[in-house]
Structure 1
Amino acid sequence: MGEGGRLARGVVVRRLLAVDQGPGSVSSLHVRVMAEAAGVTVRTVWRWLSEAREGRLGPAGRQDRFTLGDGLWAGLAGVGGNVAALHRRMTAGGSSSAVGVPSLGTLHRAVQRDLRAGRVLEVARPSRNRVEAGRYDRVLAELKLERAAEGLPVVDAAPAAPPGPGAGEDGEESTGPSRGGVRLFVPGARVVSTAEVAAVVEVVGHTVAARGIGCVFGEPGVGKTVAVQQALHLLPDRVPVWRAVVAVKPGLPQMRASLLEALGLAAGSLSHRAQPADRALGEALRRPGVLFLDDAQRLSPPLLDYLRLLWDEPGTAAALLLCGAGVERVIARAPALRSRVLTWHQVPELDQERLAETLAMFHDVWEGAEPADVGWADATVARGNFRTWAKITSHVYALSKRGRDVQVDRALMEQACARLGPYP
């Protein structure tokens, strides 16, 4: 009997009771046949029958299963999702929302059960050396433009002086964004810890902790790279992050060279020597860390299979994070890698209901803007696209600086949206 045709417990018990109450009695052969039909062990069927004879026809429910109320869930978010830290607070008498304090294992199971059911931690941040979301946003705004090496996901793109001699794209004096960053072309823009960004932070954190493979995908411009960059920035300092640049239609030598460069290996001497390069990569990936490939939709199925072979090496301790618009469709054409992806996460469009609030946190120019005007711009031009809203913000900022007390109203927003052309 196939798996789809296995008998349920209720059917098994009723048929055995019918035999038991008839002229004969239930034998070991009866039990063995029903165990095979139900896909369980003989001992399980005997236990079912014993409970049925005592009047219990269904499985015994778990009694007093511990659940986390809203207060405990908020406390868990406050300690960065650290269950052990929450348990220490509860044992110290810091929580009165539950009757009795469960064991640490019970608390872990309750949290995992709620996460699997779709409950979201609004602040998914490692607790070590971290700050509150509001303070984090304020500090980013105060810092203005960060050096590329610091890897912040959103940068202030105010015009900078041309770099002097010896200050290249990645040099100490360069003020441009890193190759993995996002240029927004507006001074004072800052990362906003929205629910969508928090979800990406949680997904990336789980993938890195599990040393698995993750795929972050979504439409172009919805903020995938911004969210992933923030998630990587929030990882503990002890976790190395390697960012590999994916070229347009790369071959295997170019792919190998990118990985070697990202991992700090001798790309020039190893990229065209397959076996030594693969051995060096395999050895480097034995260290816990995360390799991030943005625009991974450019990779062909053979190159994705090459990544799969690297991660199949015994002892690999690094996580792999693939991000891009349409990357999920490319991975689907590489079944061996697709079956090994631990986490799939689609980044949605901006939340319509909280759009005005999100924009006000994103840039001060939106403070006081009418939600109806913001909704008009989103419905006609932006359509929930983060990159389009960054462009609109840039033009609104420029228009608002033309004179004193310029109001960000419908007319000004129409001018800003008109500058985006027919393909915003």
Structure 2
Amino acid sequence: MITFELYRHQARHEQDSFAATVTRIGCAKSGRLEYGHGLPDLGRAVGRRALKATLAAHPRTLVLDEAQWLSSEQLEYIRYLWDDPYTQLAVIFVGGEGCHATLRKEPMLSSRIFIWQRFTRLTTDEVLETIPLYHPIWADADPKDITYADSRAAHGNFRNWARLTAHTLSALNRTGRPRVDQEVLRWAFSRLGSGT
């Protein structure tokens, strides 16, 4: 589920003012677009105004992951928010298989997409260049250990690197070791399960 939350909106008129209100746009696989949840009996119209006012206050970036699961209605609402002349909204659609086709089915939206970018797995050279910058535990790691970790578990995928980094950090904390090595990595690999 993708949730976009806005906190502490103060409306212009006293009768519409409320503090610590949460407005949500929930984009679920069910295909329902829900907004206005959590509003204190002020209704969805006030929720929409609060959302648009917050988006107009200063530039924001809305990242929608798993965009291939968004319905036409959800995509139309995102386009509506982006098109509003007062909002300062950048939208990033991220998705897996079928994302491009889902977005292309909406010509009013797809004509507004500035860049279509396909991401592929990092090559070994890219891993060796990028991963030491990704997290401090990799900054002083032996390049052979980084290559070992990539070939056994991460496979050039940032999601895998994030999981591996969390488990490796846990191993370092448990063992008191100052640096990543292959023994620590093997322990981390054992925590990843069979999905790697």
TM-score band, normalised by the shorter chain? 0.5 to 0.7
How many residue pairs get matched? 172
How does 1:80-229 map onto structure 2 within 5 Å? none
Counterpart in the other structure of 1:379: 151
Instruction: Within 5 Å, give how 1:52-71 maps onto structure 2.
Output: none
Give the corresponding residue for 2:73.
302
The match for 2:20 is: none
1:362 maps to what in 2?
Answer: 134
**Equivalent position of 1:257 in the other structure:** 36
Amino acid at match of 1:308: R
After superposition, the C-alpha distances for 1:155-178 in whole angstroms (9 at most, x for unaligned) are: xxxxxxxxxxxxxxxxxxxxxxxx
Q: Distance in 1 between matches of 2:117 and 2:157?
A: 17
Give the distance between the partners of 2:106 and 2:141, measured in 1 at CA. Answer: 47
On the 8 A contact 2:24/2:36 being kept in 1, the answer is no
Q: Output the CA distance in 1 between the equivalents of 2:164 and 2:104.
A: 35
Mean CA deviation greater in 364-373 or 381-390: 364-373
Q: 1:294 to 1:341 in 2, by over 3 A?
A: same
**Pair 1:251–1:401, CA change in 2 (3 A):** closer
Q: Relative to total residues, which structure has the larger strand share, 1 or 2?
A: 2
Instruction: Check if 1:343 corresponds to 2:115.
Output: yes
User: Shift of residue 317 of structure 1?
Assistant: 4.4
**SS across alignment from 1:344:** coil
Does the 8 Å contact 2:153/2:164 carry over to 1?
no
> Counterpart of 1:397 in structure 2: which amino acid?
L
Partners of 1:338 and 1:328 lie apart in 2 by 9
Distance 2:27 2:100 in 1: 16
Say if 1:365 and 1:397, in contact at 8 Å, map to a contact too.
yes
Q: What secondary structure does 2:115 align onto?
A: strand
**Aligned mates of 2:40, 2:117 — CA distance in 1:** 32
Structure-2 change in CA distance of 1:243 and 1:405 (3 Å):
same
User: Take 2:160 and 2:81, find their aligned partners in 1: how far apart are those partners?
Assistant: 37
Decide whether the 8 Å contact of 1:244 with 1:292 is kept in 2: no
In the superposition, the TM-score normalised over structure 1's length comes to 0.34
**Aligned counterparts of 2:140 and 2:191: Cα–Cα separation in 1:** 22
Distance in 2 between residues matched to 1:367 and 1:358, nearest whole Å: 10
- Matched-pair identity in %: 28
* Consecutive unaligned residues in structure 2, runs of 5 or more: 5-22
Alignment of 1:229-248 (within 5 A): 244-248=25-29
Distance in 2 (CA, whole Å) between partners of 1:310 and 1:405 is: 50
Deviations along 1:85-105, one digit per CA (max 9) or x if unpaired, are xxxxxxxxxxxxxxxxxxxxx
Find out whether 1:270 has 2:43 as its counterpart: yes
Shift of 1:372: 2.4
The residue that corresponds to 2:59 in the other structure is 289
Unaligned residue ranges in structure 1 (runs of 5+): 1-178, 181-241
Alignment partner, residue 325 of structure 1: 95
Give the Cα separation in 1 of the matches to 2:26 and 2:79: 18
- Scaled by the length of structure 2, the TM-score of the pair is 0.64
How has the CA–CA distance of structure 1 residues 349 and 300 changed in structure 2, closer, same or farther, with 3 Å as cutoff?
same
Counterpart CA distance in 2 for 1:307 and 1:371 is: 43
Q: Which range moves more in the overlay, 347-356 or 334-343? A: 347-356
How many angstroms apart in 2 are the aligned matches of 1:317 and 1:405?
Answer: 49
